[in-house]
Chain A
């Protein structure tokens, strides 16, 4: 299990294609099952006094089907976290405007009251954050932080919840769970803390889990373990997973479908295998070229994407990626490319990468 993840981490989209996996992904796409989460034209604008309003998310749309794992990929500052916080209704109360729809099983989460949203969070939709240490309350033992959710959403007493909490810690692979229940967060290792957070998030068996860079703060071997655990748990429980990451290796090992974000908009979407085998957007292509691949010829250099996010053009009048693009054409700086869907792929580009194979 962890082997498979580890190898595909360094080896995205090669001939190890799992046919059954791909079929499953196709079914979500074609089978017309109702999506669990349907995000449409999500926009988040931050307004600060004295500063220009800043649109961090500019009309993002994607679906998550029951049991599906969807990746949101993009570099720092492209709006991944803001998207997830907007879905969860966790953006600060003031200073921002959210529009669009976030349908979860047919209800628009953006229209729910605070109280209704609190009842959904942790029970129907849960979230795992990037930094496992600061995401745990330092003054409360781990056990209490697990039972807290169980008490809240499953109406259990502390006493009834404790064995369940123990079970959960055991399930996520924390050794000696009885002792760990009484431990404080700083007494656990980084990997164990993240395991504990996953246990807490999955305590009430949510149907959707959003993981915002859950492995970024961990070292590489632990990363692989945590990803393997996540994969195992979502497969076992049928939980749909939105995996937010800037690491294509993570996506390769885990996701059925991948959305690539750039500057607050989706620039490419596709089935994991198709996307890795045949990236069409120069940005996706650049991302793939900038990570090491096992199947690349020896001596081939890694190619970083030149420039940084600060070079972006505004999407309204151009392609934001144009200044950093490897193959810009004239029109790229004159108007905005639309996201066009074809053959289960979506692409926002005037001059896509040639299909090679």
Chain B
């Protein structure tokens, strides 16, 4: 489930992240337990883990309609975003003469030939604006998640690698950030910026994601710390830095990466919310779904379709990422292996 941006129970949020980390960290233990059964039964060590885990996850994903729908939505969205200028029938920032002809203060032209969704309130092609808006939405979502991921990995590694007071300090900061509802935090951060722009939105949303990733990574790092292969590496006198970056971190990243597909969905919604509130890019020559939704607000009585289309886009794309991320996580969770 995508965490609702206004989760009234911050502790529920924390617990959820921790349980995610546990399922991931528990994978080692579960695999061992399963293997012990094999040892007892057949006297032979069965191959588990590694690529075979990924291979079995993939074979299940391929047959999972939820994943396929999510992946299809995501692929369409990403293609639209990448090739937006080529796909859009018109220039999204230009007022079109054939639309302007019919545009009067009392009438916004609806669908017509060459403009299947009609005009926006300034005589620009609505469909083209939606398609180009996909690009802005993708940019914001991806960059916010990347930055959030980077920050979260840095903090989580710090906490998980050193433990002790470093861990306590980092995790207290993370807890404080998690205790503020994420959208509220994002709004506050975005409001701090002297001039609203796309990048303030990205930074605000990335900041909100840092604690989620940090807590998740720290959890699986701690599980790795107690794992057999880390003990074996320590028994070889391997340097602390290699233990962290070669033995613990690569084995801890799985759940974090999976989680980032889910977080992409939230960040798209959050980005739309910030733009809607006027904290995003004010320049409407570069359309963005949340911004379009905000602009359509005043006209919603007479022209609900102006709000409906961007809202539907936001919902469908967020749903696509959520479905994909959720089924990915399920497939990679050893507890759900059949």
List residues of chain A with CB under 8 Å of any chain B CB. 88, 90, 117-123, 126-127, 129, 131-140, 148-149, 152-153, 184-187, 189-190, 193, 197, 200-201, 217-220
Contacts and interface: CB of A to CB of B under 8 A. Distances in A.
Nearest to A134: B228
B64 interface: no
Contact of B35 (A133, A135, A140, A201): A133
B258 to A, nearest CB: 16
Interface in B209-244: 227-229, 231-240, 242
B246 interface: yes
Contacts of B44: 190, 219
A214 to B, nearest CB: 12
Nearest to A118: B237
A65 B136 CA distance: 71
Nearest to B234: A90
Interface of B: 28, 31-32, 35, 39, 42-45, 47-52, 227-229, 231-240, 242, 246-247, 250-251
A98 to B, nearest CB: 16
A145 to B, nearest CB: 8
Contacts of A200: 236
Contact of B251 (A133, A137, A220): A137
B295 to A, nearest CB: 48
A121 B236 contact: yes
B236 A135 contact: no
- Residue from B32, B238, B239, B246 having most chain A Cβ neighbours under 10 A: B238
Given A129-B228, A132-B45, A138 B251 contact: yes
B43 A152 contact: no
A135 B232 contact: yes
27 contacts: A90-B231, A118-B238, A119-B237, A121-B234, A126-B235, A127-B232, A131-B228, A132-B45, A133-B35, A134-B229, A136-B232, A137-B246, A137-B251, A138-B49, A138-B251, A139-B250, A140-B250, A152-B238, A152-B242, A185-B50, A186-B47, A186-B49, A186-B50, A190-B44, A190-B45, A200-B236, A217-B45
B232 A186 contact: no
A156 to B, nearest CB: 14
B235 A186 contact: no
Nearest to B43: A219
A83 B50 CA distance: 32
B interface, over-half SS = helix
A186 B51 contact: yes
A137 B45 contact: no
A140 B246 contact: yes
Contacts of A197: 232
A126 B236 contact: yes
Nearest to B42: A219
B103 to A, nearest CB: 59
A308 B334 CA distance: 33
- Residue from A197, A217, A220 having most chain B Cβ neighbours under 10 A: A217
Contact of B39 (A126, A135, A153, A217): A217
A88 B235 contact: yes
A122 B45 contact: no
A184 B31 CA distance: 17
Contacts of B47: 186
A111 B43 CA distance: 41
Contact of A123 (B50, B237, B240): B237
B238 to A, nearest CB: 6
Contact of B238 (A149, A217, A220): A149
A72 B246 CA distance: 33
Given A121-B234, A134-B227, A218-B45, A184 B32 contact: no
Given A90-B234, A121-B235, A137-B246, A131 B32 contact: yes
A134 B239 contact: no
Contact of B237 (A122, A135, A137, A193): A122
A146 to B, nearest CB: 10
Contact of B229 (A118, A122, A136): A136
A348 B236 CA distance: 35
Contacts of B228: 129, 131, 134-135
A188 to B, nearest CB: 9
Contacts of B237: 117-123, 149, 152-153
Contacts of B238: 118, 122, 148-149, 152
- Residue from B35, B229, B234, B239 having most chain A Cβ neighbours under 10 A: B229
A133 B232 contact: no
B279 to A, nearest CB: 41
Contact of A137 (B42, B43, B233, B240): B233
A24 B238 CA distance: 35
A220 B42 CA distance: 11
Contacts of B51: 184, 186
A118 to B, nearest CB: 5
A121 B237 CA distance: 5
Contacts of A152: 236-239, 242
Contacts of A153: 237
Given A152-B238, A186-B50, A133 B233 contact: no
